[in-house]
Amino acid sequence: MRVAQRVDPPCPDFARDTQNQAGQYDEYIANVDIRTEYVDDKSNHQRVIYKFRPYVFEGIDTIEIKNATLMPQRVVDDIIKTCLPGHAYKVEIGLMDKVRERIEKWYQDRGLPFCYVGYFDGMEEGVLRANVIEAKINDVA
């Protein structure tokens, strides 16, 4: 039974690592809550618990798929139709992942594993734009 709560000062490395991790995803993660808790009453072992809150891009009313030259327009239209959220104008990282997954699956199902979504942009303009990279292999020696 613990009588007093131990309060340890945060480790400088822990604080630096936290800032580095949050910095990698600044565009997609609005807030990161980090806390520690003791694993048990016998040891001094602690676990770190991260709670991420995604940034919600508001005012987005369309999805574009750019540079997908191999993908037929009907497939592009289907991805846009099925991925555009019902609650208009709010897009978060979960939707971006759904769009990325659908696009990359289409390429992989056709034996094109080197075609993928490189990045998203356009959110400031009210558009969720998936920028596709279609890598073509000319020769395998």
Same domain (yes/no): 50, 75: no
Handedness of CA 91, 94, 96, 98 (dihedral sign): negative
Domain that holds residue 28: 12-54
Name the token pair of 2.
């613990």
Reported as a single tens digit per residue, the pLDDT across 77-116 is 999 999 887 766 677 888 899 999 999 999 999 999 899 9
- In angstroms, the Cα distances linking 51 to 18, 21, 54, 92, 96 are 12, 13, 10, 16, 19
Amino acid at 114: F
Strand partners, 130: 65, 120
- Does some domain include residue 85? yes
Q: What is the mean pLDDT of residues 6-34?
A: 61
Same domain (yes/no): 123, 64: yes
| pLDDT over threshold 70, residue 2 | no
Same domain (yes/no): 120, 62: yes
pTM: 0.64
Reported as a single tens digit per residue, the pLDDT across 31-47 is 888 999 999 988 889 99
Same domain (yes/no): 79, 130: yes
- Does some domain include residue 102? yes
Computed over every residue of the chain, the mean pLDDT equals 81
CATH of the domain at 105: 3.10.20.310
| Count: domains in the chain | 2
Q: What percent of the chain shows pLDDT beyond 90?
A: 40
CA 101 – CA 65 distance, rounded (Å): 13
User: Helix or strand or coil: residue 129?
Assistant: strand
- Does some domain include residue 4? no
Name the token pair of 76.
């592009």
Same domain (yes/no): 85, 115: yes
